[in-house]
Amino acid sequence: MTPRMLLHWSPRSPFVRKVMIVAHECGLSDRIDTVRTVVAASEPNIELMKENPQSRLPTLRLADGTVVHDSPVICEYFDTLNAGEKLFPAAWPERLAALRRQSLGDGMLDTMLMWRGEQLRPPQMQSDKHMQAWKLKTEVSVEKLEDEADALAASRFSIGHIAIGVALGYIDFRFPELQWRNSHPKIAAWHQAFEARPSVRANQAMDEP
C-alpha cells in the first residue's frame, strides 16, 4: 500500500495552493489527504500547534508521523518523490535561478498577506502607511517580473515559476483593483500560460468559509 500523507489545508491560502500545484506536478496528489484547518494571526489554532508550533499553513504530516512545514520545505520534499523532471534543479546556475524566483514569489505573498490582514482590521486601527508600503512593494515586484518575463518563459519550468505564478494569482484573488495586467503585457501573457497548466487549473483559490 502506498504511504499516504495528510496536509492541513485551506482554499484561501496561497502557500497551500503552491504546495498543491507542486503535488500535482510531481504526481503525488492522489497520495495526499487534506483536512480543512483554520488559522489566523490573532487566533492560534491550538490543535494545529501540536504539530506545527507556529500554527501556520501548510503543514504536512507524513505516514510515519514526521511533520513538515513551510512551503519551500514541503515542495522540495515532494520533488524528492517526483519520478519526472525535477522542479528543483540540481545544477547551478539553474538551481540559483529557481530558488531566487521562489524567494521573490514567496516574498510577494508574505507582503500581500500582511496587507490583507491589515485590511481586515477595524478601519480606525488600520495603518495607511504600512498598506501603502506593501502596495508599493507589490507593484515594484510586478515591474521586476515584467523585465524578467522573457527569461522566465524561456527557462525550464521550476519551483520558481510556480511561486511567481501563485503570487500573481493572489493579486487577482485579493487585490484585483491593482489591474496589474494592464501595464505589464509580457508577464501577463506568461501568467495566462501558467494558469492553463492542468496542475494550476486543479488548484484554484476559493474564498469559502
Q: Please, what is the average pLDDT of the chain?
A: 95
- Tell me, letter by letter, the H, E, C secondary structure of the chain: CCCCEEEEECCCCHHHHHHHHHHHHCCCHHHEEEEECCCECCECCHHHHCCCCCCCCCEEECCCCCEEECHHHHHHHHHHCCCCCCCCCCCCCHHHHHHHHHHHHHHHHHHHHHHHHHHCCCHHHCCHHHHHHHHHHHHHHHHHHHHHHHHHHHCCCCHHHHHHHHHHHHHHHHCHHHCHHHHCHHHHHHHHHHHCCHHHHCCCCCCCC
pLDDT at 209: 46
pLDDT digits (tens, 9 = 90+) for 164-179: 999 999 999 999 999 9
pLDDT digits (tens, 9 = 90+) for 178-189: 999 999 999 999
Whether residue 208 has pLDDT greater than 90: no
Share of the chain above pLDDT 70, in %: 98
∠ at Cα 111 (174, 77), nearest 5°?
Answer: 95
pLDDT digits (tens, 9 = 90+) for 107-141: 999 999 999 999 999 999 999 999 999 999 999 99
Under the banding of pLDDT at 50, 70 and 90, the label for residue 2 is: low
pLDDT digits (tens, 9 = 90+) for 135-167: 999 999 999 999 999 999 999 999 999 999 999
pLDDT at 196: 98
pTM of the model: 0.96
Share of the chain above pLDDT 90, in %: 93
Query: Could you give the CA distance from residue 132 to residue 139 in angstroms, rounded to a whole number?
Result: 10
